[in-house]
A and B are shown apart, each in its own frame.
Chain A
Amino acid sequence: MAFGKRKHSRQFILPKLQITSMMDMFTIILIFLLFSFSTKPQTFTFDKDVKLPESTAKTDYNENIKLVLSQTCLRLEGDVVATLKNGKVTGLDPDKPKESSLYKKLKAYREEAEALESIAKRKENILFLCDKHHSFKTINNIVKTAAMAGYPNFEFAVLKK
């Protein structure tokens, strides 16, 4: 009987969800995301080994031709145009820059841009993302070739300090 009594006196209590701790967590995430909010988020595809230099520059980047120089290769708009071996660019002869794939592709972009009626849609500059450990010797050949192809103005990508 005693057992029966206990059985009957039991009541179903609706479990109360404790969401205070979850709220705390969400608040932290929300604040973090608010700080990293950007009006123009963009996905960049470049190698993991690209370490950009830090700078005090405050200018935002524009929609331009992307040229990425990593430790292993040179990419133009995502396509590999040259490879690097011991800091030397293979596929870009400084004596014959017009024969390089980089020059030919940039020249084609230039012609395409000039054919466009709208000046606003033209990509006039090169957004250059370069690993900070490269020497000027390596960079110089690339920028000179790009300038010869009709792109003398660069936007050197840096990370905000």
Chain B
Amino acid sequence: MSRLGQRGRKAREEVDIDLVPIMNMFLVLIPFLLMSACFFHLKIINTSVPVLSEATDDGPKKNNIKVTVIVEITKGSIELSAMSDSIENGKLDKFSTRIIKGMEEENTLNQLALSLEVIKKAYPASDTLIIIPNESVIYDTIIQTMDVARYFKGFPLFPNVVLSGKVG
């Protein structure tokens, strides 16, 4: 018993890890990581502004009909409509909706996303959305609207977002 106890004590005394090489490695790694550290993750949303260009008419393709969705943001509501060169205006009227802004912005945006999803399902080739905000609408609201218009629950809706002022 006494021998065993002695051996155990000896073994406990011998365990002494040399941490100096690990410390040296850390001292090299930390300055390197500090140099390549990024303390805020900057991402971007690609947007364009409408400009005058020459029209290119390829003619409508049967299964490839595209509609352009227009989202008009006002102080109290979001108005949604769709337009297309290859579809009669009357047919797209069913997609026109007006979402009244509620207490929570998230609910309003969810409603907008669901309406956009319906249009996307009807015309899957569509990818362009025009946002027309009112002059008083703040930039943050525009970005949040862009977010739900581009992707909803991980699925792409209208990735090409155009920002435009109201004409007239």
Binding site for B on A (CB under 8 A): 19-20, 22-23, 26-27, 29-30, 33-34, 36-39, 41, 44, 52-62, 125, 127, 130-137, 139-140, 143-144, 146-147, 152-160
Q: Give 6 closest A-B pairs by Cβ, nearest first.
A: A38-B38, A33-B33, A160-B41, A132-B140, A137-B135, A155-B44
B48 touches A53 (CB 8 A): no
Contacts of B26 in A (CB 8 A): 23, 26-27, 30
Secondary structure of the B side of the interface? mixed
Chain B window 34-55, contacts with chain A (Cβ cutoff 8 Å), 1 for yes, 0 for no: 1111111111111111110000
Q: How far is the CB of A142 from chain B (nearest CB, A)?
A: 10
- B residues apposed to A, CB below 8 Å: 19-20, 22-23, 26, 29-30, 33-51, 133-140, 142-144, 146-147, 150-151, 163, 165
Do A132 and B30 touch (CB < 8 A)?
no
A82 to chain B, nearest CB (A): 17
In whole angstroms, how far apart are the Cα atoms of A27 and B33 in the complex? 13
A131→B139 CA distance, assembly (Å): 8
B53 CB to nearest chain A CB (Å): 9
Taking a contact as CB atoms under 8 Å apart, the answer to whether B48 and A134 are in contact is no
Interface contact B19-A23, CB-CB below 8 Å: yes
Do B38 and A127 touch (CB < 8 A)? no
Cα of A159 to Cα of B41 in the assembled complex, Å: 6
Interface contacts beyond A19-B19, A134-B138: sample of 10 additional A-B pairs, CB < 8 Å, sorted by A: A26-B30, A55-B147, A56-B147, A130-B139, A132-B140, A132-B143, A135-B135, A136-B134, A136-B138, A159-B41
Among residues of A, the one whose C-beta sits closest to the C-beta of B135 is: A137
- B38: contacting residue among A41, A152, A156, CB under 8 A: A41
